[in-house]
Amino acid sequence: MNTTTLAANAALNAQLPFWRKLGWADYGFALFVIALSVAAFQRFGSFMDGYEQAILVGTAIGTIALGWFWKALRVLVPVSIVLSLGAVSLYGDDLGRAQTAFWLKYALASQSAAMWMCVLFFLATAMYWVGLLRRSNTAELIASGLTWAACGAACVWFFVRWYESYLIGPDVGHIPVSNLYEVFILFCLITALMYLYYEGRFATRRMGAFVLLIITAAVGFILWYTLDRGAHEIQPLIPALQSWWMKIHVPANFVGYGAFALAAMLGIAQLLVSRGWLADYLPSHDTLGEVMYRAIAVGFLFFTIATILGAMWAADAWGGYWSWDPKETWALIVWLNYAAWLHVRLVKGWRGDVLAWWAVIGLFVTTFAFLGVNMFLSGLHSYGSL
């Protein structure tokens, strides 16, 4: 088949209605997600209020849409869920089996899955650097596979830890996005998945060496926080977090944080390329800038949604949408920072190193808004600590 025929077929396919572009694999994935959602409702529906049931429906629809948009998720999601269901069946109603059942103790219990995630991300980072410096496609392919495996382990951790919390007690059970240990794992998962999408979209694995560095830093924090502080232990939610708003506000926030972190690491890579360092190894200066822009655009969208959701949560919990609490003030600073970044790129046409530096500095601003405010400033959000 010649190039002209291929181009004609592509143009014809682009004109087809959306539903005509879907294949049996797409419909099979949708049926799989729907069946799991129904099963989850049948088993856990008694614990859900109306809002949580709506979240379940929205999550199912969103997962199907993402799977249709990004085909790789049609493998990650089913494999992660099957492994998670295997862990649930091994547990039964006895949390103590985490120490006696072989597969739970060494692979599928939440803490085991978290440790596998950490190991796999460390290995992936090393292999990305080997692939970059030696221009080895094989090493890069292995690194990409390890990153996918780490994401799978993080997904298993998420679902199994959620189930484990309910085994402790119905009043303890909660979605695992409530403390620094849990949200750092969420950060690793979201940042890695975003990177893997851009890796496939731009057909280059050369960005992974830099992006995985920020994930590895988060993994280092997770290990320290686990081994030194025992932060992996499941604790009941404090009253301030006993709200269904947490289930949507926190994940939306961390899509933003993950995107901003990814953009900052690409900004560092772009600055190196502009100075001739690793220029023969990394993607082009323009490619790095384009991926950085797309990441910030996605992050800004989700951070905006998270900020609005946070204001609605504040109104529900404290009676007002905005109180100039330090966390709220710094969230506004982060929002204005990236709004200005997008403005000068889209409206003023800025490109190059100035935006790369801005993205790198923006990561420090975002980090302080996430960690520094809770650690050093007092306010309504001062319930996180190291």
Residue 37 has pLDDT above 70, yes or no: yes
Per-residue model confidence (pLDDT) at position 266: 98
Q: For residue 317, what pLDDT is reported? A: 84
Q: How many domains is the chain built from?
A: 1
> Which residues, at least 6 apart from 191, have a Cβ–Cβ distance to it below 8 Å?
211, 214, 215, 218, 258, 259, 261, 262
Q: Note the pLDDT of residue 385.
A: 58
Whether the predicted pLDDT of 111 surpasses 90: yes
CB 155 within 8 A of CB 189: yes
Length reported for the chain: 386
Q: Is residue 332 part of a domain?
A: yes
Both tokens of 57, joined, read: 């429906």
In a domain, 322, yes or no: yes
Residue 375 corresponds to which tokens in the numbers above?
């650690």
Q: pLDDT (tens digit, 9 = 90+) per residue, 292-303?
A: 999 999 999 999
Is position 201 within any domain? no
Contact 133, 281 (CB under 8 A): yes
Kindly indicate the confidence band of residue 46, based on its pLDDT and cuts at 50, 70 and 90.
Answer: confident
Contact 355, 267 (CB under 8 A): yes
Q: Say yes or no to pLDDT of 12 above 70.
A: no
Q: With left for phi above 0 and alpha for psi between -120 and 50, is residue 352 left, alpha or beta?
A: left
Sign of the alpha-carbon dihedral angle for 372, 375, 378, 381: positive
Backbone angles phi, psi at 112, to 5 degrees: -65, -45
Mean pLDDT of all residues in 296-318: 95
Domain that holds residue 313: 238-386
Residue 305 scores a pLDDT above 60: yes
Q: What is the mean pLDDT of the chain?
A: 91
Neighbours of 276 (CB within 10 A): 8
- Taking Cα atoms as reference points, which of 98, 118, 95 lies closest to residue 109? 98
From residue 98, alpha-carbon distances to 60, 161, 198, 286 in Å are: 29, 11, 37, 49
Confidence of residue 283 (pLDDT cuts 50, 70, 90): very high
Nearest CA-CA partner of 192 in 147, 145, 138, 125: 147
Residue 384 has pLDDT above 70, yes or no: no
Note whether residue 219 is domain-resident. no
pLDDT of residue 373: 86
Say if 123 falls within a structural domain.
no
Look at 2 and 293; give whichever has higher pLDDT: 293
Q: Is the residue at 244 inside a domain?
A: yes
Q: Calculate mean pLDDT across residues 30-41.
A: 93
What's the rounded Cα separation, in Å, for the pair 282 and 284? 6
Please give the share of the chain, as a percent, with pLDDT higher than 90: 78
Q: What is the pLDDT of residue 375?
A: 79
Under a CB-based contact definition with an 8 Å cutoff, are residues 71 and 147 in contact? no
DSSP-derived letter for residue 152 is H
Sign of torsion over alpha carbons 51, 53, 57, 59: positive
pLDDT confidence of residue 8: 47
Half-sphere exposure of 241 (CA within 13 A, CB side): 19
Lowest-confidence segment of 36-40, 123-127, 288-292 by average pLDDT: 36-40
Q: How confident is the model at residue 7 (pLDDT cuts 50, 70, 90)?
A: very low
pLDDT of residue 16: 59
**Residue 248 located in a structural domain:** yes
Tell me the C-alpha distance between 47 and 40, whole Å. Answer: 11
pLDDT of 333-372, one tens digit each? 999 999 999 999 999 999 999 999 999 999 999 999 998 8
Residue 121: inside a domain: no
pLDDT(189) > 70: yes
**Phi, psi for 10 (deg, rounded to 5):** -65, -40
Span of 168-172, 238-242, 306-310 with lowest mean pLDDT: 238-242
Weakest-pLDDT range from 8-17, 52-61, 213-222, 302-311: 8-17
Taking residues 122-146, report their average pLDDT: 98
Residue 230 is predicted with a pLDDT of 87
Pairwise pLDDT comparison (17 vs 232), residue with the higher score: 232
Contact 173, 166 (CB under 8 A): yes
Q: Is 204 exposed, middle or buried (0-12, 13-18, 19+ CB in 10 A)?
A: middle
Give the whole-angstrom CA distance, residue 62 versus residue 41.
17
The tens digit of pLDDT for each residue in 135-176 reads 999 999 999 999 999 999 999 999 999 999 999 998 899 999
